[in-house]
């Protein structure tokens, strides 16, 4: 399984496209994606709960991490 790469711009997550600017399989070219500002996306496991929650994204130097935030009751 290959890593997913994404950019976080103004709180909106954008995944690397499959093809870009006549480059086929752009999303498989790790060096090019990193050079273009994409980072490894780390997806959180969805909790099995009845509690309401929402997703927020945390950007680190090399990663974008998906975080589960539980809503107040």
Give residue limits of the domains in the chain.
4-70
Nearest to 63 by CA among 27, 25, 34, 36: 34
pLDDT-based confidence at 47, cuts 50/70/90? confident
Predicted pLDDT at 49: 84
pLDDT tens across 22-43, in order?
Answer: 999 999 999 999 999 999 999 9
pTM of the model: 0.83
With tokens 């959180």, the residue in question is 44
């Amino acid at each position: 399984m290959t890593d997913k790469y994404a950019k976080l711009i103004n709180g909106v997550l954008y995944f690397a496209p499959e093809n870009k600017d006549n480059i086929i399989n752009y999303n498989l070219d790790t060096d090019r994606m990193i050079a273009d500002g994409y980072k490894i996306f780390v997806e959180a496991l969805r909790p099995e709960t009845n509690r309401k929650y929402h997703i927020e994204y945390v950007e680190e130097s090399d990663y974008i991490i998906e975080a589960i935030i539980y809503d107040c009751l």
